[in-house]
Amino acid sequence: MRNVLTIAGKEVRSYFTSPVAYVLLAAYLALAGYFFWALLSAFNQSLQIYSMMRNPEMLQRFNLNEMVIVPLLHNMAVLLIFIVPAITMRMFPEEKRAGTYELLLTSPVRVSEIVLGKFIGGLVLVLVMVALSGLFGVLVTIYGNPEIPLMLSGYFGLALMAAVFLAIGTLISSFTDNVVIAYVGALFALLLLYTIGWIGETIQGAGAAIVRYISITDHFQELTKGVIDTRDLVYFATVLVIGLFLTQRSVESVRWR
Amino acid sequence: MIEVANLSKRYGDLTAVHDISFTAQPGEILGFLGPNGAGKTTTMRIITGFMPATSGTVRVEGFDVFEQSAEVRRRIGYLPENPPLYNDMAVVPYLRFAAKLKGMARSAIDEAVDRVLATCGLTEHGRRLLGHLSKGFRQRVGLAQALIHDPPVLILDEPTIGLDPRQIVDIRRLIKDLGGKRTVVLSTHILPEVSQVCDKVVIVNDGRVVLQDQLRNLTRTRSLEEVFIEAISREHSDGAARVAGEGL
């Protein structure tokens, strides 16, 4: 455990002592802020139109959670698809290029500790991102009247999703010594995972059920609706553990080539 | 103490190391010599546990590199061909990180860092970023990293490559001083370095050991250059003789 923390601490320090963390945070929060503002403006505009039409029945149906928070969470998940690979792409390729891989692998440290340390280091950065984007939820709570438990469940889902993205990015970064390949590979895998549910509606039978189970979006959707189901939690945990386990195998196998 | 026995390493069809055996005693500085691509780096990477051998065994301080890998790694200081430095770290934080990786007790780290900074002439440069250091300083930090946990065995892969003459003299003196009770394996293709620093010489060519002996025995009548050139061309002349024999 001490080795894990040593490596995680080194990773976190390297993110935050270089511009990397700040650039990623700024890009993420600026875009998320823009989405938030756009969604909120649309919400207000429709609200005004319906109040002018004096249609109380329609107004009743207006829901801050459904019309602002949930779409915002989905948009932020898409942002993470592009940002998480930028975190994971350096994890292994940079070590291999700099030769520090030899230092790590010849130290009395287990491969699983290296993998876990790198993952936790990245997780700290990603969780800081998700936490800071909680600001939008706070703003909505101050100026509006959303259902807070629902919102919290949504953010919890976003954090889980970010962790899963990170595990997949870590795995793909362990395959290569090239950062561009690590980025594009992770982007490809994450986009596929995010959009695979689309075909679940058109294909039939067992295939459809499998696709729907694999699709991360379907599980995330449940959480944004405030439904914290063990099945979804098991899904996130499974993908995360498989990702990290395969990373450990992949790093170990390099030695055997 | 390092005992290498019948070590082979194949990458697919290519045999990088073929049946290499040698031992290095405590207090001995072993010069591991050979032309570029002879298998020096591969052998050292196997000794340090970075990669496994295809066959053969390596024991370091009595521990098997493959079976008791963690024990071995705790006892080895390794300077790879390119010093393993994180360019965005400063010298002292980097050495502290290396010390923790080597499993040193927290309370011993400060003292160890000060010690290796002094040994490698880095005391004045502790706060400099590794990415801003010249080649000579990078090499010294790499060496400091290898020494941080005061290991009984040191593996140095071409420690003086790319240094200017003065730095070369400094590093050689440092290695000589480090000898003492440690076992040091030093790879190089610079022959004067071997004559000045080493006690024992192992010459490899095409992945095979072609000669090993104490330096003083080898250089009794001839220069090391002559011995080296003869050793690495012997294999080829054997081949030539065989071809010529078939012709007759």
> Look-up: residue for tokens 């293709």?
B189
- The upper half-sphere exposure of residue A257, i.e. CA atoms within 13 Å in the direction of its Cβ, equals 7
CA distance B26 to B180: 8
Min Cα–Cα distance to chain B from A108, Å: 5
Min Cα–Cα distance to chain B from A28, Å: 24
Nearest to A92 by CA among A122, A137, A65, A124: A122
Bridge partner list, B129: B90
What is the amino acid identity at position B36?
A: N
pLDDT given at position A205:
80
Tell me, what DSSP letter sits at residue A19?
S
Nearest to A249 by CA among A152, A115, A151: A115
What is the amino acid identity at position B52?
A: P
Bridge partner list, B153: B76, B183
pLDDT given at position B240:
42
Tell me which of A241 and A255 has the higher pLDDT: A241
Lowest mean pLDDT, pick from A23-27, A184-188, A231-235, B163-167: B163-167
Residues of A with a Cβ under 8 Å from any B Cβ are 2-3, 6-7, 10, 13-14, 17-18, 98-109, 255-257
Nearest to A100 among B74, B78, B84 (CB): B84
Q: Which of residues 51-110 of B touch A (CB under 8 A)?
A: 51-52, 70, 73-74, 76, 78, 80-89, 93, 97-98, 100-103
The CA-based dihedral angle spanning residues B174, B177, B181, B183, taken in that order and rounded to the nearest 10 degrees: 40
CB of B52 closer than 8 Å to CB of B7: no
Tokens standing for residue B21? 């055996």
Return the SS3 of B129: strand
CA distance B136 to A44: 65
pLDDT given at position B236:
52
CA distance B62 to B58: 9
- The upper half-sphere exposure of residue B225, i.e. CA atoms within 13 Å in the direction of its Cβ, equals 1
Tell me which of A81 and A208 has the higher pLDDT: A81
Distances in Å between the alpha carbon of B134 and those of A84, B125, B139, B162?
Answer: 34, 12, 9, 10
Nearest to B183 by CA among B52, B71, B62, B60: B60
CA distance B136 to A98: 16
State the pTM of this model: 0.90
Nearest to A147 by CA among A247, A226, A215: A226
Q: What secondary structure does DSSP assign to B59-89, as a single string?
A: EETTEETTTTHHHHHHHEEEE-SS----TTS
The answer to whether residue B162 neighbours chain A at the CB level (below 8 Å) is: no
CA distance A67 to A158: 17
Lowest mean pLDDT, pick from A22-36, A158-172, A231-245, B166-180: B166-180
Domain that holds residue A46: 2-254
pLDDT given at position B237:
47
CA distance B210 to B22: 11
Bridge partner list, B7: B20
pLDDT given at position A256:
65
Q: Do A100 and B86 touch (CB under 8 A)?
A: yes
Q: Do A103 and B102 touch (CB under 8 A)?
A: no
Helix H or strand E segment including B208: strand B208-214
Nearest to A108 among B45, B84, B102 (CB): B102
Tell me the ipTM for this assembly.
0.87
Among B60, B65, B69, B86, pick the best mutation site for testing chain A contact (most A Cβ within 10 A).
Answer: B86
Considering its fold, how many domains does chain A have in total?
1
Domains of chain B: 2-247 (3.40.50.300)
Among A103, A104, A256, pick the best mutation site for testing chain B contact (most B Cβ within 10 A).
Answer: A103
Indicate the burial class of A2 (C-beta count within 10 angstroms; 0-12, 13-18, 19 or more): exposed
Bridge partner list, B14: B11
Q: Do A6 and B80 touch (CB under 8 A)?
A: no
CA distance A97 to A85: 18
Q: Which residues in chain B are closer than 8 Å to A107, comparing Cβ atoms?
A: 73, 98, 101-103
In tens, the pLDDT along A77-124 reads 999 999 999 999 999 999 999 999 999 999 999 999 999 999 999 999
Min Cα–Cα distance to chain A from B170, Å: 24
Tell me, what DSSP letter sits at residue B125?
G
Among A94, A97, A102, A251, pick the best mutation site for testing chain B contact (most B Cβ within 10 A).
Answer: A102
CA distance B247 to A92: 54
The answer to whether residue B45 neighbours chain A at the CB level (below 8 Å) is: yes
C-alpha dihedral sign at B25, B27, B33, B37: positive
Backbone angles phi, psi at B22, to 5 degrees: -165, 165
CA distance B159 to B66: 26
Helix H or strand E segment including B55: strand B55-60
Per-residue confidence of chain B (248 residues) as pLDDT tens digits? 999 999 999 988 888 999 999 999 998 999 999 888 888 999 999 999 999 999 999 999 999 998 898 999 999 999 998 999 999 999 999 999 999 999 999 999 999 999 999 988 899 999 999 999 988 899 999 999 999 999 999 999 998 877 888 888 888 888 888 888 899 999 988 888 888 889 999 999 988 998 888 888 888 888 888 888 888 887 554 444 444 434 34
Q: Do B73 and A2 touch (CB under 8 A)?
A: no
Share of chain A above pLDDT 90, in %: 68
pLDDT given at position B245:
39
Among B100, B106, B135, B149, pick the best mutation site for testing chain A contact (most A Cβ within 10 A).
Answer: B100
Min Cα–Cα distance to chain A from B83, Å: 7
CB of B29 closer than 8 Å to CB of B175: yes
Task: Please enumerate in sequence order all residues whose Cβ is within 8 A of that of A5, keeping only pairs 6 or more positions apart, or say none.
Answer: A117, A120
C-alpha dihedral sign at A77, A79, A85, A90: negative
Task: Please enumerate in sequence order all residues whose Cβ is within 8 A of that of B236, keeping only pairs 6 or more positions apart, or say none.
Answer: none
pLDDT given at position A191:
95
pLDDT given at position B181:
81
Residue A1 CA, chain-centre distance (Å), reads 25
Nearest to B163 by CA among B153, B175, B155: B175
> Look-up: residue for tokens 């070369």?
B168
The answer to whether residue B114 neighbours chain A at the CB level (below 8 Å) is: no
In tens, the pLDDT along A122-140 reads 999 999 999 999 999 999 9
